[in-house]
Amino acid sequence: MCFQSFMQRIAQIITNFIHFLYRPFQRIFPEQLFRYAVCGGANLVFDWVLYFLVYNFVFAAGLHSAHELVYISLPGWFPLQYTICITPHIASLCVVFPITLMTGFWLNRHVTFTGSSIRGRKQLIRYILIVALNLFINYAGLKLTVELLGWYPTPSKVIITLVTVAVSFFAQKYYSFRK
């Protein structure tokens, strides 16, 4: 079985499972909204768990304070070497973001918005633009809540992500995956 066939089969299994879950809610929600909620919710929980793991076990592990900086050395042309420093909560966001970007796109394209006539590459570009807006909201929100208000990073991430859900649904439905 080739990879594409395998992924199509996974999408069909997920779609069938969501359709099974949808039956009690069919009088309340349109099916596409329900699919978006389930797929987005699953990707959101994946994002939160991955963020928690990366923050607590990769970047904040061994730090004495959440306000200590993470130093990352980037290769450059010899003898130049670049070192950037960022806070652990932003470093965690940088690691988690590309992973959940791809899982979210795949779920939206193959499970939620399957009727779109827009080509895959164009969908991906549009999806990335919407997600870039959400990334900016996440970045600014984390800066505000963690650094200015002094909130804990993980609950801050949860609250900020809830704001981006509404923005994302309408933008994806009417821009990225429109019919």
Angstrom distance (rounded) from CA 123 to CA 116:
9
**The domain containing residue 149 runs over which residues?**
3-176
Task: Classify each residue of 56-93 as buried b or exposed e, where b means 16 or more C-beta atoms within 10 Å of its C-beta.
Answer: eeebbeeeeebeeebeeeeeeeeeeeeeeeebbbbbbb
pTM of the predicted model over 0.85: no
User: What's the token pair of residue 165?
Assistant: 């859900």
For 79-120, write each residue's pLDDT tens digit: 667 788 888 888 898 899 899 999 999 999 999 998 888 888
- Only one residue has tokens 């966001």, namely 93
Q: What is the pLDDT of residue 143?
A: 92
Q: How many domains does the chain have?
A: 1
